[in-house]
Structure 1
Amino acid sequence: MEPVNSTLVAEAGDVHWLRADVALAAAARRQAGQLARALGLADTQVANLELCVTEMATNLLKYAHDGSMALRIVRVRDRAAVECLSLDSGPGISNLPLALRDGTSASGSLGLGLGTIARMADVSGIHSLPGRGTVVQARFWAGPDGPYPVPGPLDAGGLTRPLGGEQTCGDTWAVRTAEGPDAMLLMMCDGLGHGPLAAQASDRARSAFRGSRRSDPAGILQEVHSALRSTRGAAVAIALVEPAHQRVQLSGAGNIAALVGSPDGRTGLPSLPGIAGVQLPRPRTFEAALPPGAALIMHSDGLSDRWKPADFPGLFAHDSSIVAAQIFSQAAVRRDDAGIVVAVHRRP
């Protein structure tokens, strides 16, 4: 395979997780403000961001049975933004258009929350599963007003969370461009165990993936394996997504779940037994169709693999952050690091 030039599209970074409790609104405002000022957002943007996270926190406390907020800086090519995600397992919203109108409330309040977020954020979205939970997204871009990054045929992103009590996450993900029209390469990595040594392995894998000049998943997996030899090792899967050919090719080792999900069902993409950096069998590449409206999902064993695309009606029409967050919210377990990366093949 000829070496190619590539550009990093997005990758995992620090995610600040806040559980829903009486101090959530104040903690979320403080953390969001710190992230915004670190990026140099204008004072008006900071104020709008703090208002949005307050509304998110208020909704979680009013309606959610169990919820949390994830605040982070996301980088898409040469732009950066503060992104806030609200995830809950509350009752869901049965009528979203009505809920987005100002003055609509199920608790007797003014009902300004969801409408405020949609108006003030540069990017916003919501996906709700009645009886199961809701994800809300708000993103505020740093730098000059527009043009903000707009996804092409592929929209990719992910989410990670460390095991409870740990400060670092052993799961990571990254996305970069590949040879071919709008093609992308994705990596999902789960460092063995958890804590700093697992994070060290996954960070090393991400660096090797980012620096590789190859575009074939098996070749990149071999390079990652070599880079991890001095670490405890990791489960790693590399995928090449080519929207022009409506296909995905994947090569992996270890316990990374990978599948193509669509309203019609799911197609699994297997990884071989092994541990990158320790013992890697000869890589094999598996292929599946990825038509418009479908999504590639890869996740660590910190998420259950028992979920079905049919359980998430309408999800794959949303931004990749919402897709990742909703699957994460419904499938993640708390006894391990958890990570997910998705690539949505958008309909024309």
Structure 2
Amino acid sequence: MACSKLFLSCLLVQLTFLFLVPEVAHGQGLKVGFYQKACPNAEAIVKGVIHEVMSVAPSLSGPLLRMHFHDCFVRGCEGSVLLNSPTNQAEKNAIPNQSLRGFQTIDRVKTALEKACPGIVSCADILALVARDMVVATGGFSYDVETGRRDGNVSIMNEALNDLIPPTANITTLKADFAKRGLSVKDLVVLSGGHTIGTSHCSSFSNRVYNFTGKGDADPTLDSNYIARLKLRCKPNDQTTLVEMDPGSVRTFDVKYFDLIPKRRGLFTSDSALLDDSETKAYIDLQIKTGGSTFFKDFGESMVNMGRIGVLTGTAGEVRKVCSKVN
């Protein structure tokens, strides 16, 4: 569907499409090796650019992995998080997306692919491939990425505000939000393990440290020593300081995140909430007991599941020439 460069021109049609097609992890039209004939070196090109970026800017690993999450949970995995708005009303302008970095890296990948195979590889697929390559670059296992997504034409800030799961979510909200996207409780706990790399602004968890119930208290489910450490890093109303989500392992994709949760050192309420469900807790216990024997494999499978949410394939959407704007 061709759209003008103004987002609202296609909004009615796009919203109608959303109501007709549930936002679930279906993924029809996706397959491993989608570009094998049209752009056989596509995945190698992405991997090469990411290798270069990581050699000079390893701190981008977390934000670039998270970018794929934030794209898929709003409108599905169709690249809408990458779009710019002339009035700053796109998804990337929403407060939950202010911590995303690495848009220039996505543009760099897109430029390389356009040079090799003009008009072939979608920005939505680039996000999925970059996420996989970030996992590998930081010590995780590789997994096959299904490709064949096409790019959406609409990006609305308020949708990101409403649809992205907040770090304050409890287990009931987490399970419901994953379920409505066709993802399982196992997917929830496995994908939470992505917090093993990257950082967060103090503002995402400061209420747990300074004003949990509105009375100037701390969250009683947090370890007291951890609270003291967080207070040293984050002063009240701090909006800029970054804190490691997995202290001491922020640039290594490993299973240490799961060690933190039962020690009551999960940074977000949504991390601690994983102890409040028998299935998620059992998975954490298993990874601790076995040294993460299944986590890397499970993470790849859950990323593939997430990558199927609300995709556009076939003749739907478009393949953008530039990831930040519609054709």
TM-score for both structures, normalised by structure 1: 0.25
Structure (1 or 2) with the greater strand fraction: 1
Bigger RCO of structures 1 and 2 (CA < 8 A, at least 6 apart) = 2
User: Going by fraction, where is helix more abundant, 1 or 2?
Assistant: 2
